[in-house]
Amino acid sequence: MGLQAYLLLAAAVFAIGLFGVLTRRNAVGILLGIELMLNAVNINLVAFSRFNGDLAGMVFALFTIAITVAEVAVGLAIVIVIFRVRKTVEADRLDLLKG
């Protein structure tokens, strides 16, 4: 398989993630979409790294994984706090701020 196949796979995963972010109503679902988008980045990085014969991409992917985990941990914490106060995590019903 060539580089192109991997790039297409990554683009598909990224698009699915973006679709999830835009259409999901549940905050946890949106978080899952973001996770997918960042995993597409990892596929890209590792594929480029393999086909360029350059290790920096692998290092980049490791850093991306660590950052993703930190980000999602913060995101879930915010969702938990919202659930405690509002008893809902549906994005549609979080509409106190407008204007």
Residues making contact with other proteins (CB under 8 A): 10, 14, 17-18, 21, 27, 30, 34, 37-38, 40-41, 44-45, 47-48, 52, 54, 56-57, 59-60, 63-64, 67, 70-71, 74-75, 77-79, 81-82, 85-86, 94, 96-97, 99
Nearer to other proteins, 5 or 59 (CB): 59
Helix (H, G, I), strand (E, B) or coil at 25: coil
Contact by Cβ (8 Å): 27, 80? no
Could you count the other beta carbons within 10 Å of the beta carbon of residue 78?
A: 13
What's the token pair of residue 26? 């549940």
Least distance from C-beta 74 to other proteins, angstroms?
A: 5
